[in-house]
Amino acid sequence: MQQILNYINGSFQAANSGEYLDNYNPATGEVYSLIPDSDATDVELAVKAAKAAFPSWSALTREERSEHMLNVSKRITERLDELAEAESTDNGKPVWLAKRVDIPRASDNFKFFATAILHDSSELHDTDGKFLNYTLRQPIGVAGCISPWNLPLYLFTWKIAPALVSGNTVVAKPSEITPMTAFLLSQICDEVGFPKGVLNIVHGLGGKVGSAITEHVDVPIISFTGGTETGKTIARIAAPMFKKLSLELGGKNPNIIFDDCDLENALKTSLNSSFANQGQICLCGSRIYVQKGIYNEFKTRFVELVKEMKVGDPKSADVKLGAVVSKAHFDKILSYVELAKQEGGTVLCGGKEAKTDLGGWFIEPTVIEGLDEQCRTNQEEIFGPVVTIQSFETEEEVLAYANGTKYGLASTVWTSDLTKAHRVAAQLHTGIVWVNCWLIRDLRTPFGGVKQSGVGREGGWEALRFFTEPKNVCIPLH
Ligand code: NDP
């Protein structure tokens, strides 16, 4: 059985404890690899290595750091098939999805920040012809990067790339549920000759490794993506230490469909925005609101299309949904379906395990109608292939529904009235609004949520700003 290893100070090593955790293939339900059960002592070694590497890494020119990043990007692309297979085996997502989205995006993350940094420039202010102010942006030190299991390499590299290219060194922890592509990434970084200690990857549990990174006095900056409750824990620990924080957390995103929309496009895209990656994308629209005039038509056709979505072997090219990530998550999702029934909902399709002969954790894509806005099913993040659907009459009404949760990550609006689109977009309390499209991600744009969906923004200059500290220097001109 394959053993994943930590990557610390340029060497591959087991956890200090010598213990391993089981790593499951969600499609078969079987353990297929082992991951180091690391603890604070492994994190200590990683932070020490990252701290020691910081002076020389941050002293490289941006072109030199950029070159390292571009080499990684290239190797990820060269190993596309292998990485996509690994991501699928680890996470349960269809191989075609990993090949089309996750792995190319991981390569793009390195390429994007490698080139963006070359175009960054300092601010300069001439103060009444008497003084010159210029603002240096300096790397901070050892950055802690903690990522979740839903888009493993995609989100892991979305943090690591801007952190490194800005001149920081990194101690990173992937989710213990999906560690494989992070392990392969450490091999790639080693192959392309990353200096020792610049990137350190420590595998293991959030409560041991993640918290040790968060608590470490020599890690002044934390970039975290994951659940809102974990985000709160991290914020509580980091606050007294005045750490710089970026928290990308949960969502309960509204998908608003007005009478005057392009119905075909809204239907087709809503299938994707509801169920892509088994609904395990923080940006999925899990609450569908359809205006009264087209509600019945939309609902009927949507449910028909959902019933046609094939669930099964992630290796199969015609499968739309693979397995959900773990047995615990499978149970959690189905428990929400039961809750929805108790709360008065009607399951229009799905709502149960999808039978396969693979042995893993598959759930039928599920649509639920007839729930009150305030019920738990409509308020809490399910993070699986389950959406609720409800009609509305007025713009005001749907805005109240859309904004009526503690989350504020993303929203989608379907209308052919441009004025309405602008008006509604401005009033949605979310960090991202898509109009007549979904999940178009331009890496230059700010990414993140409001309310309990997080603090701070990733993407483009926002990420490069986050991973650097501005220092203003003022000098008399005469
Ligand atoms: P978790 O919050 O459970 O875990 C995220 C990461 O944090 C994992 O690596 C986890 O390790 C680690 N962790 C757990 N506890 C601690 C702790 N006390 N201190 C430090 N690190 C810890 O989230 P999930 O992995 O379950 O991911 C799903 C969540 O992520 C959903 O809520 C989803 O909405 C959100 N998400 C948000 C995105 C955004 O951009 N806003 C994007 C993608 C997902 P371990 O796996 O070992 O528990």
Atom of ligand 1 nearest to the CA of 454: 41
Q: Is 460 in the pocket of ligand 1 (CB under 6 A)?
A: no
Looking at residue 163, its pLDDT comes to 98
The torsion angle over the Cα atoms of residues 102, 366, 296 and 440, rounded to 10 degrees, is -10
The pLDDT tens digits of the residues spanning 40-62 come to 999 999 999 999 999 999 999 99
Separation of 148 CA from ligand 1 center, angstroms? 4
Looking at residue 73, its pLDDT comes to 98
Separation of 249 CA from ligand 1 center, angstroms? 8
Token duo for residue 418: 């441009």
Atom of ligand 1 nearest to the CA of 453: 41
Q: Is 146 in the pocket of ligand 1 (CB under 6 A)?
A: yes
Residue of the nearest CA to atom 43 in ligand 1? 282
Q: Is 299 in the pocket of ligand 1 (CB under 6 A)?
A: no
Separation of 175 CA from ligand 1 center, angstroms? 7
Atom of ligand 1 nearest to the CA of 409: 41
Looking at residue 223, its pLDDT comes to 98
Q: Is 162 in the pocket of ligand 1 (CB under 6 A)?
A: no
Q: Is 404 in the pocket of ligand 1 (CB under 6 A)?
A: no
Q: Is 408 in the pocket of ligand 1 (CB under 6 A)?
A: no
Name all contacts of 51-57 with Cβ < 8 Å and 24+ positions apart: 51/141, 51/142, 51/169, 51/218, 52/9, 52/197, 53/9, 53/169, 53/195, 53/196, 53/197, 53/198, 54/139, 54/141, 54/142, 54/168, 54/169, 56/195, 57/164, 57/167, 57/168, 57/169, 57/195, 57/198
Q: Is 430 in the pocket of ligand 1 (CB under 6 A)?
A: no
Separation of 458 CA from ligand 1 center, angstroms? 16
Mutate which of 21, 225, 241 for ligand 1 pocket (most atoms within 8 A of beta carbon) = 225
HEC profile of the chain:
CEECCEEECCEEECCCCCCEEEEEECCCCEEEEEEECCCHHHHHHHHHHHHHHHHHHHHCCHHHHHHHHHHHHHHHHHCHHHHHHHHHHHHCCCHHHHHHHHHHHHHHHHHHHHHHHHHCCCEEEEECCCEEEEEEEEECCEEEEECCCCCHHHHHHHHHHHHHHCCCEEEEECCCCCCHHHHHHHHHHHHCCCCCCCEEECCCCHHHHHHHHHHCCCCCEEEEECCHHHHHHHHHHHHHHCCEEEEECCCCEEEEECCCCCHHHHHHHHHHHHHHHHHCCCCCEEEEEEEHHHHHHHHHHHHHHHHHCCECCCCCCCCCECCCCCHHHHHHHHHHHHHHHHCCCEEEECCCECCCCCCCCCECCEEEECCCCCCHHHHCCCCCCEEEEEEECCHHHHHHHHCCCCCCCEEEEECCCHHHHHHHHHHCCCCEEEECCCCCCCCCCCECCCHHHEECCECHHHHHHHCEEEEEEEEECC
Separation of 453 CA from ligand 1 center, angstroms? 12
Separation of 206 CA from ligand 1 center, angstroms? 8
Q: Is 253 in the pocket of ligand 1 (CB under 6 A)?
A: no
Looking at residue 95, its pLDDT comes to 98
Residue of the nearest CA to atom 12 in ligand 1? 206
Q: Is 167 in the pocket of ligand 1 (CB under 6 A)?
A: no
The pLDDT tens digits of the residues spanning 143-189 come to 999 999 999 999 999 999 999 999 999 999 999 999 999 999 999 99
Separation of 293 CA from ligand 1 center, angstroms? 40
Distance CA 263, CA 291 (A): 12
Mutate which of 175, 214, 406, 452 for ligand 1 pocket (most atoms within 8 A of beta carbon) = 175
Active site members: 248, 282
Q: Which residues of the chain have pLDDT under 50?
A: none
Residue of the nearest CA to atom 34 in ligand 1? 250
CATH class of 2-249+453-476: alpha beta
Residues of the chain with CATH 3.40.605.10: 2-249+453-476
Residue of the nearest CA to atom 11 in ligand 1? 206
CATH class of 253-442: alpha beta
Q: Note the pTM of the prediction, 2 decimals.
A: 0.97
Looking at residue 121, its pLDDT comes to 85
Q: Is 177 in the pocket of ligand 1 (CB under 6 A)?
A: yes
Residue 83, Cβ density class (10 Å: 0-12 exposed, 13-18 middle, ≥19 buried): buried
Separation of 207 CA from ligand 1 center, angstroms? 11
Q: Is 91 in the pocket of ligand 1 (CB under 6 A)?
A: no
Residue of the nearest CA to atom 15 in ligand 1? 206
Looking at residue 1, its pLDDT comes to 87
Residue of the nearest CA to atom 35 in ligand 1? 226
- How many other CB atoms are there within 10 angstroms of residue 431's CB atom? 21
Smallest CA-to-CA distance from 427 within 454, 408, 448, 453 is with 408
